[in-house]
């Protein structure tokens, strides 16, 4: 088990998301960087979608109450186990009593914004409506339906069980880079109201650098840039939306719906960030800038294939290594 030592950290328990309950008004939630979650689980030999702790605010400290293997993926945050510096994107072994500290994300312009702390066997919280993700609006799921607080104790389903540790992965940001003119980029498919915006606005959307303002969180990223103007005012009927949908309210400043997005909305939809690139946006820090690349249906599916292929390769290589007898020295 681990004890949370940090307060006001906004850390939540997340898995790959809660599907099948949109019809009840329950959004999917889930890890902002689903690739980091999956990779951390693969390093530990966990099920791909086992629950983990998503850490968006640093420093973050926990103490291990028992021996437990863990993996740290996502943002490289100069982590230490007691006073030992840890390699990022790596699986480690903690002993009972040791303290894990995540510091500030490093890497300058390339730094991430969210770390995933994966535990052997996954974080052991009850499944609600088929998922262990935290449903913040509905106050259920994850750990008591809320962000973690100092004193919270979480169980690891595989604590104490032997787990191969001491190896890691090249982060996907390095193996699957995506930039436009030196700026982090994500691909977008135009949405229903795209053509209802002024041509000048449409051009500005693709050409501009969009700043992720401080009013950005798991519900949505509020972007700052050239205001997007509709050709005529629009009042839409409420309709389903998904994470990635880029809405444009009256102000003209777009909002990208993120993992805790409501399952429905009524603002005009300019475009949708493709599912294959949501992990990139999930790691973009507040204050950073992002570019949007117009893409096609086929390219978006190819991007999904590329991500799945990376995960498959990771799974194969990790299993080969985990199954290999210990090398003689």
Part in contact with other proteins (CB under 8 A); list of ranges 52-60, 148-156, 272-280, 282-290: 272-280
Instruction: Report the distance separating Cα 171 and Cα 323, nearest Å.
Output: 22
Residue 73 burial (CB < 10 Å; 0-12/13-18/19+)?
Answer: buried
Instruction: Report the distance separating Cα 223 and Cα 210, nearest Å.
Output: 6
Laid out side by side, the sheet with 68-74 consists of: 12-14, 52-55, 115-119, 68-74, 90-94
> For other proteins, which is the closer residue by CB, 4 or 194?
194
Residue 301 CB, shortest distance to other proteins, in Å, is: 6
DSSP strand pairing (245-247 vs 255-257): antiparallel
Q: Is 180 in the site for other proteins (CB under 8 A)?
A: no
Element (H, E) at 305: helix 297-323
> For other proteins, which is the closer residue by CB, 2 or 55?
55
- Taking CB under 8 A as the criterion, the residue among 262, 286, 288, 289 binding other proteins is 262
Part in contact with other proteins (CB under 8 A); list of ranges 3-11, 177-185, 197-205, 270-278: 270-278
**CA angle, corner 283, sides to 100 and 279, nearest 5?**
115
**Chain residues 201-260 in contact with other proteins, contact rule CB under 8 A:** 219, 235, 237-245, 249-251
- Taking CB under 8 A as the criterion, the residue among 1, 5, 10, 22 binding other proteins is 22
Q: How many residues form the binding site for other proteins (CB under 8 A)?
A: 76
Q: Is 283 in the site for other proteins (CB under 8 A)?
A: no
Residue 145 CB, shortest distance to other proteins, in Å, is: 9
Whether cis (ω within 30° of 0) applies to the bond prior to 48 is no
In this structure, how many other beta carbons lie within 10 angstroms of the beta carbon of residue 21? 17
Residue 65 CB, shortest distance to other proteins, in Å, is: 25
The one-character DSSP state at 263 is S
- Taking CB under 8 A as the criterion, the residue among 10, 191, 204, 286 binding other proteins is 191
Q: Is 121 in the site for other proteins (CB under 8 A)?
A: no
Residue 168 CB, shortest distance to other proteins, in Å, is: 5
Are 68 and 119 in contact by the 8 Å Cβ rule? The answer is yes
Are 234 and 193 in contact by the 8 Å Cβ rule? The answer is yes
**Site pattern 137..156 for other proteins (x: CB under 8 A):** xxxxx---------------
- Taking CB under 8 A as the criterion, the residue among 161, 301, 306, 308 binding other proteins is 301
- Taking CB under 8 A as the criterion, the residue among 199, 298, 323, 325 binding other proteins is 298
Instruction: Report the distance separating Cα 141 and Cα 304, nearest Å.
Output: 28
**Chain residues 79-118 in contact with other proteins, contact rule CB under 8 A:** 87-90, 106-107
Half-sphere exposure of 273 (CA within 13 A, CB side): 25
Residue 236 CB, shortest distance to other proteins, in Å, is: 8
Q: Is 52 in the site for other proteins (CB under 8 A)?
A: no
| Pick from 198, 185, 208, 173: nearest CA to 273 | 185
Residue 272 CB, shortest distance to other proteins, in Å, is: 4
Q: Is 174 in the site for other proteins (CB under 8 A)?
A: yes
Instruction: Report the distance separating Cα 273 and Cα 33, nearest Å.
Output: 14
Q: Is 274 in the site for other proteins (CB under 8 A)?
A: yes
> For other proteins, which is the closer residue by CB, 199 or 327?
327
Structure tokens at 105: 């994300």
**CA angle, corner 10, sides to 9 and 13, nearest 5?**
115
Q: Is 74 in the site for other proteins (CB under 8 A)?
A: no
Residue 216 CB, shortest distance to other proteins, in Å, is: 14
Element (H, E) at 320: helix 297-323
């Amino acid at each position: 088990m681990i004890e949370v030592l940090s307060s006001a950290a906004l850390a939540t328990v997340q898995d790959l998301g809660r599907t099948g309950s949109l019809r009840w008004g329950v959004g999917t939630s889930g890890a902002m960087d689903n690739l980091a979650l999956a990779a951390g689980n693969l390093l530990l030999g966990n099920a791909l979608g086992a629950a983990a702790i998503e850490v968006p605010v640093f420093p973050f400290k926990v103490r291990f109450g028992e021996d437990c293997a863990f993996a740290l993926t996502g943002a490289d945050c100069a982590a230490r186990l007691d006073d030992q510096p840890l390699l990022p994107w790596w699986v480690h072994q903690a002993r009972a009593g040791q303290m894990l500290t995540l510091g500030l994300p490093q890497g300058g312009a390339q730094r991430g914004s969210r770390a995933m702390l994966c535990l052997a066997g996954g974080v052991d919280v009850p499944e609600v409506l088929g998922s262990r993700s935290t449903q913040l609006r509905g106050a259920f799921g994850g750990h008591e339906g809320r962000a973690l607080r100092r004193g919270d104790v979480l169980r690891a389903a595989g604590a104490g069980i032997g787990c191969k540790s001491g190896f890691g992965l090249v982060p996907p940001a390095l193996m699957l880079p995506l930039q436009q003119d030196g700026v982090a980029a994500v691909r977008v498919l135009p949405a229903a109201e795209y053509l209802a915006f002024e041509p000048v606005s449409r051009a500005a959307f693709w050409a501009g650098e969009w700043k992720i303002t401080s009013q950005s969180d798991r519900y949505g990223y509020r972007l700052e840039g050239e205001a997007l103007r509709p050709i005529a005012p629009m009042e839409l009927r409420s309709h389903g939306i998904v994470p990635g949908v880029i809405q444009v309210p009256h102000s003209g400043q777009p909002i990208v719906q993120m993992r805790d997005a409501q399952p429905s909305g009524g603002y005009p939809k300019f475009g949708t960030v493709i599912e294959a690139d949501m992990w990139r946006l999930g790691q973009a820090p507040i204050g950073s800038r992002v570019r949007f690349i117009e893409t096609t249906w086929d390219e978006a599916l190819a991007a999904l294939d590329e991500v799945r292929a990376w995960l498959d390769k990771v799974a194969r290589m990790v299993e080969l290594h985990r199954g290999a007898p210990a090398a003689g020295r």
